[in-house]
Structure 1
Amino acid sequence: MTDPAPASATEPLRDDIRLLGGMLGTVVRDHAGDEIFDLVEAARVASFQIRRSELERPELAARLAAVPTADAIPVVRAFSHFALLANLAEDLHRERRRAVHVRAGDPAPDSSLAATYTRLDAAHLDPETVAYALAAALVAPVVTAHPTETRRRTVFDVQSAVADLMRRREYTVDPRAREALDQDLQRQILTLWQTALIRLSRLRISDEIENGLRYYELALFDVVPELNTEVRRELRRRWPGAAILTQPLVRPGSWIGGDRDGNPNVDADVVATACDRASATALRHHLGELAALERELSMSGRITPVTERLSALADGSGDNDPAHRDEPYRRAIHGIRGRLSATAARLHPGIELAGIVDDGRVGYETPAQLLADLGVLDASLRGAGSAVIADDRLARLRGAVEVYGFHLAPLDLRQNSEVHERVVAELFAWAGVTDGYADLDEDARIALLSAELRIRRPLTTPEALLTEETAKELAILRAAAAAVRRIGPAAIEHYIISMCTSVSDLLEVEVLLKEVGLLDLDAGYPRCTVQVIPLFETIEDLRGGAATLTAALALPEFRSLVDAHDGVQEVMLGYSDSNKDGGYLAANWALYRAELDLVDAAHATGIRLRLFHGRGGTVGRGGGPSYDAILAQPPGAVNGALRLTEQGEVISAKYRDPVLARRNLEALVAATLESTLLDVEGLGTDAPAAYRVFDELAELAHRAYRDLVHDTPGFVEYFTTSTPVAEIGDLNIGSRPASRKPTEAIADLRAIPWVLAWTQSRVMLPGWYGTGSAVTEWIGDDPERLSTLQDLYRRWPFFRSVLSNMAQVMAKSDLGLAARYSELVEDEALRERVFDRIVTEHERTVRVYLQITGYDSLVADNPALERSLHNRFPYLEPLNHLQVELLRRYRGGEDTDEVRRGIQLTMNGLATALRNSG
């Protein structure tokens, strides 16, 4: 939301930053000493002098280069903690401004459901249209692991405590009460200072699993059911009688522990652990809520009438406590707790779960059975005129069971297509089907795989002597099958194929699923509860994605699998690798074109398409405001449903507390409803001409990007030397290697370290490079062409989103600091050749952005970002200078624990401050 408030309205934000910064300064002085405090303060003052052009950068760099490593670490920690506290202050200020607008009676802002409901009302849609469009409605943020999100649980707890104290402080007028709150704040900040920001050892996958689960307790358990209930109520009120949202709309997912593409640390035990820990988290929540309900629903049967079904539930509960004799709700809930406790004991023997009642009852087999019993409580309360009670904790619990069941969130499996090919080839060879699967052409492979899907037989035995890779892959899939049998089909619903390029890539996975019993035959046709999802990642694969899907759907075996999922086929789009492959503008347009082609293919084949957007936190990996990104999708692409990845420090920024989680999930839902039910593209009959313009621009941008990244001699050396990409792999950041393969090729490097490295060095190259050259060449000397782009910018959400996200990332770039990183390249000729091209393209891209938009700066349309740059970015300056110096020492042979930890801390601090760095 653009905040047009006057400067005076931002004074509370400045006050909050001064307050928290002052408290942090006190802690630094008291616990790190005057010398460290003076270092921090001198660096802070110098950074602001640089911004005001009162000091040259080399002077601050020289000062910090002289700081011993032991002293540099607390300086880095101080600026990192300030960035974290400033983030909190900015989030709280956004809450404050929203409250001001609401109290003033201002129109609901974009990305709010209130604004969406107003737009839907104005559209006068008929019930049949709405019901059909939302028949398979789903909004699924899928949490993924990320190397920059390595903060400890204690740090999250402190963040939440500080945010809560600041909210209370704002409305506290009593001086003594405010002083007490300030003392609590000081204690929390001291705790923060004395807590290590990062772990000393490499992050394990088990740590990443726990990191992902914490957001449910922090926010998602409460927010998701409430949001689902509200949206369902509001839509059904507008279109009564229509079968709208028969399933909950928002259903989060995860692939932490199931994503083994390039991560050798994922094995069968990890998959089992991820499923078990998720299930235990859901059951712990449900049991805790039931225990609270048993305390709360104290109604006496002598005073309040109850239904016969509730009486029967109470009488069969086994609760013989005389004190509960006339308290039917308590007795009924006691029985429900007993049954759910038995379920928990069956699913997780030996695991302690709070709230368990061991009374020997038979457990629930499915969440639907638990929901039915909770429905009895609900109906009885409403029948007695107690809807206000039913709408509180009981409603939230019913909503939580509906969404989270006994599984919490489906775990996505993912592996690279090359692995599947090798495994299937070995299985066919072992079974005597063929020794030359790898040598078969595509048609022969399809024929062989299709035939195998029509036969109910295994290709191997558990005792078969197989290669390590094949044995590991089969063990993982058997662990997944065991989780599905034990917890239910919702435990694992999706299998994603990275680098999917062909129909055989899809069928190979189906054969593997059959091998472990997840796929079976029904009337001669295969059925599987796990849907296989192609991930189209490179520019070339995106262009061919629709043809691949169409060819697969022409096969009866594959089509029957889609029909078993109510005709819904999901396709994943890779924002990260397409960007790394072809650059920012070319990748964005390739994604848009791929979606148009996939929508056409879905219509032609009669399936319902669901897209899964593999967006990262940063713009170079598809990041940016989710609401705008969803509205920027082509017509028909959203179709009532979408899944998208949530990664890195962005997860914390969005979901660490209920207020943030509500706002961000509401934006996802609002955009999904608008994109599905309204015409948001805005091009009308001009769409084909606009598409042709972007076909040409994308080709020019692709050429400019590849000329630098793929065709410039020495570019890989420049990249690996001028950025901390090598240290990302060396310094225990994240649980997976930086590359899929042990090579230095850009194509083999994972997208996360590719983007993270450029972000740390403040170049931000993946978020803009090539755009300036493309636009400049396309316009040439023709003012009409510039006018065409200006018109498209005003009318087309896609183009506005592309340029807005690009401007955001360029505003966070700083080529003056990037020049410091380029000095790490010893080859002077290479340094000048590459860096000069980057600087020239940066200037060119800023120029064309201003020409097209008519703005006078990169942040003219984003006051919130402008405030952030003004308030926080001088504090990043010392972090970048110290990172360069520590990299120089590390690469110079000073391989000590202190230097390594210092580099990690600078990475973490910059990621925190930049907020969407990887």
Structure 2
Amino acid sequence: MQNQEITEKFRQLVENKFQIYNSLFMSLPYDKMTNIGMLLPFLYEESKSGYENGKSPDEIVEEFFAKHTELKTEEQKCELLFKIIQYIERQVVLFDSIEDAAFSQLHSESDAGTLFQLHERALQEHQLESTRKKLKDFGVKVVFTAHPTQFYPNSVQRILHDLRSAIMSDSVTEIDMLLQQLGKTPFVNKEKPTPLDEAMSIIFYLRYVYYDTIGELYKKLKNAFGTAGFSPHPDVVQLGFWPGGDRDGNPFVTAEITRKVADELRSSILKSYYEHLKNVRRRLSFRGVSEVLESLSHDLYDAIFKEGTVISSKQILTKINEAEKILTEQHNGLFKNILDDFRDRLQIFGTHFATLDIRQDSRVHQKSIDEIILKKANFNQENISTEEKLKWLLETETIISPHDFEGITKDTLQTVLNIKDIQQKNGERGMHRYIISNSDGIKDVLNVYGFFRLSGYKEEEINIDIVPLFETIEGLDNAENVMRQLYELPIYRKHLERRGNGQTIMLGFSDGTKDGGYLKANWEIYETKEKLTKVSEEYGIKVVFFDGRGGPPARGGGKTHDFYASQGKTIANNKIEITIQGQTITSVFGNKEQAKYNFEQLLTAGIENDVFKNSRKDLTDKERELIQELAEISFHKYSDLKHHPMFVPYLQEMSTLEYYGRTNIGSRPTKRGAGSELKFEDLRAIPFVGSWAQLKQNVPGFFGFGFALKKLKDEGRFAEVIDLYRGSDFFKTLVLNSMMSMNKSYFPLTSYMKDNPKFGAFWNILHDEYQLSIEMMLELTGFKMLQEEEPLSRKSVKIREKIVLPLLSIQQYALIKIQKDEGNREVYEKLVTRSLFGNINASRNSA
């Protein structure tokens, strides 16, 4: 579809419908909210014209009260603002549902990046055989994390699900009823969710979205590329799972929680099979076949509901094969395709549904190892070197019990012991990775190997991939050296041989951006992948890169297909693994149509890279030097900002950073350190990036980029950068993703800060770089506006920004009141927190 045509379609299917259904809100019997629908447009108009005329948020809100209400007391005014927030939160849900419902009409099978398009291209270019070859051992893995970037309570999530269906069938009566339910359903968790709550929230998607989506996608792949001798590997699309296994900085994730989540995952997939089997049995009602399937149904029921009953994939498969044999021999294979589909699901999901990963910080491991050595090793001297610790760890025959220790050491050892049990029940695919965040030396990987040996595992029993996560700029710089040392170490080399000579390496984008800025982090990860590819090939190791990339471009998200499709031959392309969380789950993989489309986009990006030639993917030496130069210039600019004495105080005093922990949307604390003083290194990437987004400044997504472009322009070298943009897909994707960050920025909201005696100069630094970056990127791309080539994303952003503008005014108004300290602090802090929650949910299209 052409841009104009697709924009018109969006207007009809999304904008117009939103106007119509939004009007239903007016007549809903909300508690004390009857006149909000009338007042809200006034607050929007006051905000829009106010910011255009340089007014501050507190002036705008006070004018709104004076002109459009008769409220006199502070209490009455705050009560109205709370009601407006509640109203806007529900408008956001309505808009989400309408946009989701329109997805399949706004995207088609012939779009770039779909399986259909891949098949057509492979056919035309005579590459069907090489595509099949790539499909033999290629796959994508999407790993769900519990990072708090958007969590509606489960009750709201289910309404969203139903509302989308009602909108698709244009059932006004049902929509009306669901909007009424929405009006009376709380949007805020009374308490923080536990890690188990977070797991259950995502398991909802596994059962009601991904079970069918991935099953249908696999069938589609088989139909498109399968032949008599070839069927795609059932692991071609996999799911990973962090809630309940990711204990990095989350004291609430314990060995017991991990075990419970593993049980829930197993129970959920068995329930999905049990439901699916009902449909299979409706068709396969033939003598002999129906008895076998009935027996399987009883076995599944017992495994779900009878304590201590375990069923393996092998047992289920045996019954399916038995049924198929009778079906073929006695009933002409009638409806065999239905049984095949059921078997495919079993081979895809096993008894695990999604792979539960364990993750912990290397520094926590080191403390535990030190404690174990102190208690169990017979060292005389106090200052034991790292080498001596490792030597003891890898050579000792000591076996220890978790009960010999307390706290985190006890829990870590118990977790390691439980892995064997979880693998027995959920299958090895259910848990086979231990990820170590903040990795920067071989000790970090070997400490984990040591935990297994200390826990009594024989070497051949360690059926776990140990995955270092390199995330800071320093960690990324050390990565090649660390992996070389590990590959040369006989004990680790033997472990890798037992794991099929494969090594997964995780690279964290978020902390890289926080540490080095947007351009530097992107380039650093690209180069690190190249070096790690080279060193792994040198040692005959098949390396898989697992990217910790979030929703917005500042956390490595954005145009994911373009990002992966732009990686050239110098980066290993054995598998695409990516983390998704919060708003990315709901906005990119939230329903069957979206999920299928976006899984296809990832899959085809990886396949195209190897199968089709494209010179724009491979960087020339000249292009490399230029990106390196731009990355260094922007890094210095960002570093100056990061070391500015007002950087942390600005976030602490002028943003919503300190309120993230109060939103009750995630179980994990918002910073790593325990002290009250806020240090830059303790800031978690999500509250860090999220706070900039709440300020509508999105600094981590562009800062330093414009400055770097301008420097080259001043040197008379801008033509080189234009050539780079036109010649390199990788660089083009970086530019377009950065534009997305800037398009979601709105500096007039905070322009009142330019007169602040403490922060005025700092605000101006941010604003100047924002203006410069827009100017330089428009000149570079030849666009007349940001995101010119992405009409859908641009329109969606525009409407969402319109919905939340009053919310942003309220948030800033409350922050200003707190800064002025005029009393009622508690009430204003609640206003900030509630508006923060609404904004987080509304910004889903930052993914």
TM-score by length of 2: 0.93
User: Paired residue for 1:817, among 745, 749, 761?
Assistant: 749
Counterpart AA for 1:414: R
Three-state SS of the structure 2 residue aligned to 1:110 is coil
Which deviates more from structure 2 when the two are superposed, residues 203-212 or residues 479-488? Answer: 479-488
The answer to whether the 8 A contact 1:226-1:399 is kept is no
Shift of 1:427: 1.7
The answer to whether the 8 A contact 1:537-1:574 is kept is yes
Shift of 1:516: 2.8
Shift of 1:875: 1.9
Matched, 1:75 2:84: yes
Three-state SS of the structure 2 residue aligned to 1:32 is coil
Three-state SS of the structure 1 residue aligned to 2:295 is helix
User: Paired residue for 2:215, among 216, 220, 225?
Assistant: 225
Three-state SS of the structure 1 residue aligned to 2:576 is strand
Matched, 1:477 2:416: yes
Output one character per residue of 1:515-566: Cα deviation in whole Å (capped at 9) or x when no partner: 334x4224xxxx5211100100011211221221121011121112222222
Counterpart of 1:493 in structure 2 is: 432
Counterpart AA for 2:748: G
Counterpart of 2:774 in structure 1 is: 846
Which deviates more from structure 2 when the two are superposed, residues 154-163 or residues 34-43? Answer: 34-43
The answer to whether the 8 A contact 1:494-1:532 is kept is yes
1:379-528 alignment runs, 5 A limit: 379-381=325-327, 389-392=335-338, 394-434=339-379, 439-441=384-386, 443-452=387-396, 457-464=397-404, 466-517=405-456, 519-522=457-460, 528=462
Could you tell me the percent identity over the aligned residues?
23
Output one character per residue of 1:184-231: Cα deviation in whole Å (capped at 9) or x when no partner: 111111111111112121122121011110101221111112212322
CA shift in 2, pair 1:8/1:264, >3 Å: closer
Output one character per residue of 1:213-257: Cα deviation in whole Å (capped at 9) or x when no partner: 0101221111112212322443333xx646x63343111010111
Counterpart of 1:658 in structure 2 is: 592
1:85-484 alignment runs, 5 A limit: 85-98=94-107, 108-125=110-127, 127=129, 133-169=134-170, 181-237=171-227, 241=229, 245-299=232-286, 327-344=287-304, 348-349=307-308, 366-381=312-327, 389-392=335-338, 394-434=339-379, 439-441=384-386, 443-452=387-396, 457-464=397-404, 466-484=405-423
Measured in 1, the distance between the counterparts of 2:822 and 2:670 equals: 22
Measured in 1, the distance between the counterparts of 2:313 and 2:822 equals: 58
Counterpart of 1:877 in structure 2 is: 805
Measured in 2, the distance between the counterparts of 1:339 and 1:915 equals: 41
Shift of 1:641: 0.9
Counterpart of 2:623 in structure 1 is: 690
Measured in 2, the distance between the counterparts of 1:257 and 1:853 equals: 44
The answer to whether the 8 A contact 2:509-2:556 is kept is yes
Shift of 1:88: 2.5
Shift of 1:744: 1.0
Shift of 1:151: 0.7
Report the number of matched residues: 834
Measured in 2, the distance between the counterparts of 1:388 and 1:681 equals: 49
Measured in 2, the distance between the counterparts of 1:903 and 1:386 equals: 67
CA shift in 2, pair 1:74/1:158, >3 Å: same
Counterpart of 1:43 in structure 2 is: 43
Output one character per residue of 1:366-407: Cα deviation in whole Å (capped at 9) or x when no partner: 302312321333455456786672323x34432221122112
Measured in 2, the distance between the counterparts of 1:283 and 1:622 equals: 35
The answer to whether the 8 A contact 1:446-1:503 is kept is no
Shift of 1:428: 2.2
Q: Which runs of 5+ in 1 are unaligned?
A: 103-107, 170-180, 300-326, 350-362
1:590-605 alignment runs, 5 A limit: 590-605=524-539
The answer to whether the 8 A contact 2:189-2:664 is kept is no
Measured in 2, the distance between the counterparts of 1:52 and 1:831 equals: 22
The answer to whether the 8 A contact 1:610-1:641 is kept is yes
Shift of 1:596: 0.8
Measured in 2, the distance between the counterparts of 1:795 and 1:708 equals: 31
Measured in 1, the distance between the counterparts of 2:381 and 2:248 equals: 25
Three-state SS of the structure 2 residue aligned to 1:829 is coil
CA shift in 2, pair 1:818/1:376, >3 Å: farther
Shift of 1:41: 3.1
CA shift in 2, pair 1:343/1:80, >3 Å: closer
Measured in 2, the distance between the counterparts of 1:272 and 1:810 equals: 43
Measured in 2, the distance between the counterparts of 1:762 and 1:139 equals: 33
CA shift in 2, pair 1:204/1:680, >3 Å: farther
Counterpart of 2:17 in structure 1 is: 16
Measured in 1, the distance between the counterparts of 2:21 and 2:622 equals: 53
CA shift in 2, pair 1:273/1:39, >3 Å: same
CA shift in 2, pair 1:330/1:50, >3 Å: farther
Measured in 2, the distance between the counterparts of 1:48 and 1:414 equals: 45
CA shift in 2, pair 1:500/1:433, >3 Å: farther
CA shift in 2, pair 1:386/1:204, >3 Å: farther
Three-state SS of the structure 2 residue aligned to 1:712 is coil
Counterpart of 1:757 in structure 2 is: 691
Counterpart of 2:838 in structure 1 is: 909
Three-state SS of the structure 1 residue aligned to 2:758 is helix
Counterpart of 2:68 in structure 1 is: none
CA shift in 2, pair 1:688/1:69, >3 Å: same
Shift of 1:611: 0.7
Matched, 1:679 2:623: no
Counterpart AA for 1:461: S
CA shift in 2, pair 1:435/1:46, >3 Å: farther
Over the residues paired in the alignment, what is the CA RMSD in angstroms? 2.7
Output one character per residue of 1:49-80: Cα deviation in whole Å (capped at 9) or x when no partner: 56887998665333357762221111012122
Measured in 2, the distance between the counterparts of 1:150 and 1:912 equals: 8
Counterpart AA for 1:14: E
CA shift in 2, pair 1:88/1:381, >3 Å: same
The answer to whether the 8 A contact 2:810-2:835 is kept is yes
Shift of 1:810: 0.4
Counterpart AA for 2:370: A
Measured in 2, the distance between the counterparts of 1:901 and 1:651 equals: 27
User: Paired residue for 1:573, among 486, 495, 507?
Assistant: 507
1:707-746 alignment runs, 5 A limit: 707-709=640-642, 711-742=643-674, 743-746=677-680
The answer to whether the 8 A contact 1:635-1:681 is kept is no
The answer to whether the 8 A contact 1:583-1:766 is kept is yes
Output one character per residue of 1:402-458: Cα deviation in whole Å (capped at 9) or x when no partner: 1221122111111111111121122222222536697414x5455444434xxxx34
Counterpart of 1:62 in structure 2 is: 62
Three-state SS of the structure 1 residue aligned to 2:367 is helix
Shift of 1:634: 3.6
Counterpart AA for 1:62: E
Measured in 2, the distance between the counterparts of 1:78 and 1:714 equals: 36
Counterpart AA for 2:543: L
Q: Which runs of 5+ in 2 are unaligned?
A: 66-73
1:741-820 alignment runs, 5 A limit: 741-742=673-674, 743-782=677-716, 785-819=717-751
Shift of 1:870: 3.4
Counterpart AA for 1:434: F
Which deviates more from structure 2 when the two are superposed, residues 725-734 or residues 257-266? Answer: 725-734
Counterpart of 1:356 in structure 2 is: none
CA shift in 2, pair 1:145/1:435, >3 Å: farther
Matched, 1:5 2:14: no
Shift of 1:136: 3.4
The answer to whether the 8 A contact 2:663-2:837 is kept is no
CA shift in 2, pair 1:383/1:639, >3 Å: farther
